[in-house]
Amino acid sequence: MRRLLIIDGHAYAYRAYYAIRFLKGPDGGPTNAIFGFIKIFEKILKFLKPHYVAVVWDGGLSEERLALMPNYKAQRPEMPGDLRVQFDQIVDYLQAAGVCSLCRDGIEADDYIASLARQAERAGLAVVIASADKDFMQLVSPSVGLFNPNDKTNAIWTRVQVREKTGVEPEQIVDWLSLMGDTVDNIPGVPGVGPKRAADLLGIFGSITGLMQRLGEVQPVGLRERLAAAAAEIQRNLIMVRLRDDLVCEVAAEHCAMREPAWEKLRQLYAHWGFKGMLAALEEAAPNGQQVLI
């Protein structure tokens, strides 16, 4: 099967920013996130060898989720200013490298990625989503896998890894997260219900629907009472946690094929940022029209 690689752009830019600190270009501007992103991107590309690539960026928070929970993701600190100024430059790199870069105003990257993945799946492609975000485990299927940068084995996660990590199947991830909550997104769960207890409950009752229909069977009584008291919040969490996979994507997977790099533009960018090693590798590769791998 031909493979589409979808990269969670913001996640990898943040990862690069914190992995490399205080790198600056000749003009004094920060370049650490740019440098780290390019290094990570080229490493993933070389390892996975996809036929199609798309880097997806956040376009803002979901209005639907904010309406349900005004403090959704409100606990997250402001993006560092020296990271923010590097985002457009990373996009400049992707465009020069011939890589599809996608962002839509008002659409969270997770939802865009989910919709693009399902669209590609329906088109008969294999999909790999590169991200450490646990929300993406709900998308895992025979055609959709995850590449988690925190997994040193470099395995493409299937339902086997999801089950080993969480104790539940991919189809149960939304219910699992809804019970235990998600501190990363500021979504509270049922008091006293963590990953293990949430997995145990779903192992017995199958789903939140089954759990609520058989609530009288839950032991101990204190847990039963907490679940009953949080019933409305659990139903809200199901909406908050479930990724939207029905958005119309203006770019189809087959339009995400790697294009011939704009060699001169890349030369200008690398020179501007002071990336001497990348510039030397580019000069060696460009005359033969080869893909530049750092």
CATH of the domain at 226: 1.10.150.20
pLDDT at 288: 56
Q: Can you give the pTM of this predicted structure?
A: 0.92
Q: Render pLDDT for 161-188 as a digit per residue (tens, 0 to 9).
A: 999 999 999 999 999 999 999 999 999 9
Q: Is 13 part of a structural domain of the chain?
A: yes
| Same domain (yes/no): 18, 146 | yes
pLDDT of the residue at 286: 73
Assess whether 20 and 153 both reside in one domain.
yes
Q: Do 174 and 153 share a domain, yes or no?
A: no
Domain identity same for 216 and 255 = no
Q: Is there a single domain that holds both residue 46 and residue 117?
A: yes
Q: How far, CA to CA in Å, does 187 sit from each of 57, 74, 127, 235?
A: 22, 10, 28, 12
- Look at the chain and report how many structural domains it folds into: 2
Q: How many CB atoms lie within 10 A of CB 254?
A: 13
- 294 domain-assigned: no
Give the pLDDT score at 253: 76
List 100's β-bridge partners, or say none: 54
Quote the pLDDT of residue 291. Answer: 45
**Structural contact between residues 27 and 83, judged by C-beta atoms closer than 8 angstroms:** no
**Residue 23 lies inside a defined structural domain of this protein:** yes
With a cut of 50, list the residues of the chain below it in pLDDT. 289-294
User: 220 and 107 share a domain?
Assistant: no
Query: Does 143 lie in the same domain as 64?
Result: yes
221 and 141 belong to one structural domain:
no
Residues 178 and 214 placed together within one structural domain of the fold: yes
Count the Cβ atoms, other than its own, within 10 Å of residue 80.
14
Domain that holds residue 181: 170-241
pLDDT at position 261 is 93
